[in-house]
Structure 1
Amino acid sequence: MTLPSTLRAAILPALFATTFASAVFVNSASANPLPPALDQPYPGTIQMRIDASDTAHSIFRIRQSIPARPGKMTLLYPQWVTAQHGPTGALHQLAGLKVTAGGKPVAWKRDPLNVFAFQIDVPKGVTAVDVEYQHLSPTEGNQGRIAVTPDILGIQWQSMTMYPAGYHTRRIPIQTTLTLPAGWQYGTALETAERKGDEVRFKTTDLETFIDSPLFAGRYFKQIDLDPGAKVPVRLNIVADTPEALEAKPEQIAPHRELIKQAYKLFDSQHYAHYDFLFALSDEFGGVGREHHQSSENGVKANYFTEWNKTEAVRTLLPHEFTHSWNGKFRRPKGQDVPNFNTPLENGLLWVYEGQTQYWGQVLASRSGLVKLDSVRDMIANSAATYSNVQGRNWRPVLDTTNDPIISQRRPQVWPNWQRSEDYYVEGSLIWLDVDTKIRELSGDKRSLDDFARLFFGVDNGVVNAKHYTFDDVVKALNSVQAFDWAPFLKTRVEDIGPAPLDGLARAGWKLVYTDKPTEFLKGVEDQSKTANFQYSLGFSIGSDGKVTGIVWEGLGFKAGLSGNTTVLAVNGRAYKPELLRSAITAATKDSKPIELLVKHGNDYRTVSFDYHGGLKYPRLERIEGTPDRLQAILQPRQ
């Protein structure tokens, strides 16, 4: 079941905000096969200069000097981006490509099969080629995520960079100089060598680290130390639409600092020299939640601090992305161990990479106090209800949804409740609740998934280089914590079709129920998004513009003929308002009259009748009497 975007944000905070709609996916075959990627030092350092000062046009102007030898050479533009799990490189935003050597033009030719590869012939006597081009950042939402506003810019280096084929990217040195808009400040995990005026020179690093270290800059900027006095700094780098949006009260900063403490108690390790949250508070800058090893990109609405009581739903974002430093960046699935950004990724373990991160993100949000324990419980209830009603579970296992970043690339779907989407996130979190409670049950509540986290992610404390794992490694670590037949336990849950994995919920001492009133948390989410969720009664939701969304496959709305491009205009003859439809559903429990909706589908108008008398239904969790409350134990802070 697909939820309204803001409600879905309560479950997948900003993770799906990244726009994939314009991504280009091509066969990795090449008319001129690429040279094998050698795991040896590249002979020389790429020098790159980026002018990011043209915010009026959202244009980045790039120049590179790439060490080269005479003969054939292939330049690559990144195609596969690890944190996006798919072939989403923004090739369509590259323009104005010119190549010169010794001041003379050099012709380039795009490979007709692998359009991310550009071939050139380096003239004799040349030691470097100079490359010039622009990155044309979107100026409207239908072009992609807005990364440049009059007051904020975000730089994802993979969109700015070309690199030579034939070497592992971690063996290619690069030194970059960036020109910012006048007076702007910035945050990044890159090490600064010096700043002169608005020109910033970064220390030389390898290309893999460089691309994994994005930058946010802004006219209004504040940096907050989240672990004062620590040898390994953790910083919150905030950019915002206005100086007022930057102002956070001490009681708001306190749970962010507690997040760091609770994460260290969980993972008992650090795998970064320092960590930088890049945090945009904006109504113009595109929402984002993207992990990196020593930083993360995070974008929410401008009211994050100023309307604190309304933003609880998005406060699982920072815990989620921080968890990724351990899970997904330090420990990575073996299928993500690739030599460069143009080698396909294998996503089969994303239910560990993202699913367990989703789980820990909610747990740490509760333990830190960023989100109330009761609200996290409501999030879990909503997840359980969602996946209990996803009809696509009847044909597609959650394991297959790990292919969705490649198949659909987060483009809008026609029938998402039937097609399914990247369900390895939220359904994955339910699987890990199942694992956690199973460990607790088998051990008499002496051990838990916390022990797995320390064992699996806490290994090699202080090491930054990625440590890759297989399914068998996960099973082995679980058995080290608690002996059990974990392999079939996990495979059944990720490979089989059928009911949602709710055993962990019952083992935690709770059950999913439906009542005629939403919980305060979910009511707040609906109020903020101006959407109305009738999925568990009439089988659909309605957006802020009256448009029907999230239709349950073969649910009541589906059977009544509702589909996309349908707007509800009236309820029982009166102009549609969410509260009017809620009242009509409630009234129908007391009589036999059908509920009538006037709807517009394209240019056609018609009346749709619902002979439904079951009342409003909203999910919540209810205690199972006589059982231990393991969910309370999971979500409470560690002392």
Structure 2
Amino acid sequence: MKLTNLRTLFFLTILIMSTTISKAANNAQISYNVSFPEAQAHYADIEMHITGLQQNTLELKMPVWTPGSYLIREFAKNIESFSAEANGKAIASPKINKNTWQIVTKGVSAVTVKYRVYAFELSVRTSFVDASHAFLSTTGIFVYPANMLHSPAIIHIAPYKNWDKVSTSLEMVNNDPFTRHSPNFDILFDSPIEVGNQDVFSFDASGVHYEICMYGGGNYDKEKLKADLHKIVEQEVAVFGENPNKHYVFIVHNRQRNGGGLEHLSSTVLGASRDSYANDKGYQGFLSLVAHEHFHLWNVKRLRPIVLGPFDYDNENYTTNLWIAEGFTEYYQGIIVRRTQLFPVENYFEAIESEFNTLENLPGREVQTVAESSFDAWIKAYRPNENSNNTTISYYNKGAIIGMMLDLEIINNSKGKYKLDDAMKYMYNQYYKTLKRGYTDAEFKAAFEKFAGKKLDDFYAKYINGLTPVDYNKYLGYAGYKIVDELAGKNDAALGVATTTTAGKKVIVTAVQRGTAAYIDGINVNDELTAIDGTPVTDAAAIISGKKPGDKITVTVTRDGQAIDLPVTLLKNTRVKYNIVSVDNPTEQQLAVRKKWLSL
């Protein structure tokens, strides 16, 4: 048989197999029952029903990661007691790889699968169950049939004891809050579920109904929260010109100390400290978190890098554009809160100054580009070690700074006609709404150039794909501002270590900064600092206070049970602390840019 005919036969076979699988997927009906008979022991019990099967083999898979959190988390590790039955009889369901179970379904049209999930990892991206509530991060709860990601599913929740509420963006079935419908698995995996006795209140903004679901109590003021979140929503809708949701859910976990958030298609999960709402700093921090995660409903959930959808739930999904997806969202969290006029300009400057100082005090800024930081998120960002500050940066942090730089570049070059909002809205309309796909790096670059009115090859070479130090004064100068270093002129000495003090009062080195005295002269992470020039160490920074660069000291450490004396020559403390101040006599053009940028 000729090669051409072999190829033809091969592709015909693949086509027939694909058609058969597609037909089977279209006919299958999927439902889940979720119960919590041992909530106090942190278990969710799942019963999955699949009917209308027409294939000989069924593979069930558990995602290995959750979109928005770029780390392989191996959710299948939490599954136990996996079993299957058909026609009332047990059938084999062997596990064939780390996250896949295989069931022979020849001659079988319906299967029931049962398994348990241990849920005791407290974060916005992982499931947690106890006697007070259940938070279901759905990628770690529901297995799905391979090749059936487009299939709808019904989810029924059987609450534990006196639980009386379900909070999720999934639509109710027959007005039953405990029965929800998902049009497909991408939506199911993007719709976390809170079950318990959470405090639920609501407001309407831009024609969308918003629910706020508070677990854990707290000193929040409901009416103030509703009013202020309304302002944030309206400001963000104004950027893109529409809100694509019918309703949206904020799930907030209030604990003694908590933080972080994870975006979803029509909801978000937020971590907050329950007693932080009554002070200005804590409350502004919470509103910034709200602004960040809510902005994601456009930026990354719909307007997103081309590789981030449709998702591959089995493997890493690599992109060099998280500096846009996350970094720009971090930039907008501050500027959006500024636009609400809830806080003065000085508060916004404190936030952006913090971004500057974080980047400039990281040795990793001279090692890793922001594009590399995005691409390597899977192996570096979520797995930091004692040397990470020396070798990496955050695409959140530098991306936020780049967002500010491009915003000011666009405002200045267009003489106030455009700002970064216009590029974001254009990309949303062009790629999400019109082309119905994600964007490439080159396509977003072209949009920036469209509204800046200039080529940005040099900008990309320096700041996206290169390691050129940020020229803060150039971009702030467009708005008549500049940076000053509060620590300039000081001649303090620094050892260059971070330490922690144990319960036994031992001072242990946790990090050594590249280029410092400790780095050059051989102090190691995990060394116990016992003495400096014979003086017992209780606070290393206090002991070297008053010493100057060039001074020689002897640092005594205990390493692997042995005492070692290390001669160390102190070096100048290179830390910076930038503040934003106005230039003298700003021009009319600078004042116009300033007004456009800061909504004055």
TM-score range, shorter chain: 0.7 to 0.9
CA 1:565–1:250: 2 relative to 1, 3 Å: farther
Query: Is the 8 Å Cα contact of residues 47 and 115 (structure 2) preserved in structure 1?
Result: yes
Q: 1:93 aligns with which of 74, 78, 81?
A: 78
Query: Is the 8 Å Cα contact of residues 75 and 164 (structure 1) preserved in structure 2?
Result: yes
In structure 2, the partner of 1:576 is 538
What whole-Å deviation, never above 9, does each CA across 1:355-389 have from its counterpart, x for those lacking one? 21121122113223566532332232232233234
- Residue 210 in 1 paired to residue 188 in 2? yes
CA distance in 2, matches of 1:103, 1:636: 66
Measure how far apart 1:264 and its partner are.
1.9
CA distance in 2, matches of 1:373, 1:595: 45
In structure 2, the partner of 1:526 is none
SS of 2:26 mapped into structure 1 = coil
Q: 2:145 aligns with which of 158, 164, 175?
A: 164
SS of 2:349 mapped into structure 1 = helix
In structure 2, the partner of 1:482 is 452
CA distance in 1, matches of 2:543, 2:286: 29
SS of 1:325 mapped into structure 2 = coil
Percent identity between matched residues is: 18
Measure how far apart 1:550 and its partner are.
5.0
In structure 2, the partner of 1:223 is 201
Letter in 2 for 1:562: I
SS of 1:108 mapped into structure 2 = coil
Q: 1:44 aligns with which of 2, 6, 28?
A: 28
What whole-Å deviation, never above 9, does each CA across 1:579-600 have from its counterpart, x for those lacking one? x946963x346x9866887766
Query: Is the 8 Å Cα contact of residues 49 and 112 (structure 2) preserved in structure 1?
Result: yes
Query: Is the 8 Å Cα contact of residues 511 and 525 (structure 2) preserved in structure 1?
Result: no
What whole-Å deviation, never above 9, does each CA across 1:135-178 have from its counterpart, x for those lacking one? 1112689xx967234434321111111111124x2x21100001
Query: Is the 8 Å Cα contact of residues 330 and 464 (structure 1) preserved in structure 2?
Result: no
Letter in 2 for 1:561: G
Measure how far apart 1:78 and its partner are.
1.3
CA 1:69–1:140: 2 relative to 1, 3 Å: same
In structure 2, the partner of 1:455 is 426
CA 1:632–1:570: 2 relative to 1, 3 Å: farther
Q: TM-score, length-normalised on structure 1?
A: 0.78
What whole-Å deviation, never above 9, does each CA across 1:218-266 have from its counterpart, x for those lacking one? 4342323263xx53112322111x3xx1542644554322211211222
- Residue 299 in 1 paired to residue 271 in 2? yes
CA 1:584–1:409: 2 relative to 1, 3 Å: closer
Q: 2:252 aligns with which of 279, 283, 288?
A: 279
Query: Is the 8 Å Cα contact of residues 49 and 176 (structure 1) preserved in structure 2?
Result: yes
Measure how far apart 1:200 and its partner are.
0.7
Moved more, 101-110 or 470-479: 470-479
CA distance in 2, matches of 1:611, 1:510: 35
Measure how far apart 1:210 and its partner are.
1.4
Query: Is the 8 Å Cα contact of residues 35 and 45 (structure 2) preserved in structure 1?
Result: yes
CA distance in 1, matches of 2:378, 2:521: 33
Which runs of structure 2 are paired with 1:515-594 in the superposition (5 Å)?
A: 515-516=486-487, 538-542=495-499, 547-549=508-510, 551-566=512-527, 573=535, 576=538, 581=541, 585=545, 587-588=546-547
CA 1:341–1:287: 2 relative to 1, 3 Å: same
CA distance in 2, matches of 1:139, 1:88: 11
Q: 1:117 aligns with which of 94, 97, 100?
A: 100
CA distance in 2, matches of 1:601, 1:306: 46
Larger Rg: 2
In structure 2, the partner of 1:268 is 241
Q: TM-score, length-normalised on structure 2?
A: 0.83
CA 1:118–1:249: 2 relative to 1, 3 Å: closer
In structure 2, the partner of 1:129 is 111
Letter in 2 for 1:58: H
Letter in 2 for 1:106: I
SS of 2:270 mapped into structure 1 = strand
CA distance in 1, matches of 2:324, 2:435: 19
In structure 2, the partner of 1:426 is 397
Q: 2:323 aligns with which of 351, 365, 374?
A: 351
SS of 1:377 mapped into structure 2 = helix
What whole-Å deviation, never above 9, does each CA across 1:454-475 have from its counterpart, x for those lacking one? 32235699x7996422223313
CA 1:204–1:515: 2 relative to 1, 3 Å: closer
CA distance in 2, matches of 1:262, 1:274: 17
Segments of structure 2 that go 5 or more residues without pairing to the other structure are 1-16
CA distance in 2, matches of 1:437, 1:391: 26
- Residue 470 in 1 paired to residue 440 in 2? yes
Query: Is the 8 Å Cα contact of residues 541 and 549 (structure 1) preserved in structure 2?
Result: yes
Which runs of structure 2 are paired with 1:4-43 in the superposition (5 Å)?
A: 42-43=26-27
Q: 1:237 aligns with which of 206, 209, 213?
A: 213
Query: Is the 8 Å Cα contact of residues 59 and 103 (structure 2) preserved in structure 1?
Result: yes
Query: Is the 8 Å Cα contact of residues 493 and 544 (structure 2) preserved in structure 1?
Result: no
In structure 2, the partner of 1:177 is 156
Q: Report the aligned-residue RMSD.
A: 3.7
Moved more, 154-163 or 37-46: 37-46
CA 1:146–1:471: 2 relative to 1, 3 Å: closer
Query: Is the 8 Å Cα contact of residues 536 and 618 (structure 1) preserved in structure 2?
Result: no
Higher RCO, 1 vs 2 (CA within 8 Å, ≥6 residues apart): 1
Which runs of structure 2 are paired with 1:307-456 in the superposition (5 Å)?
A: 307-310=279-282, 312-338=284-310, 340-342=312-314, 344-368=316-340, 372-408=344-380, 410-420=382-392, 423-456=394-427
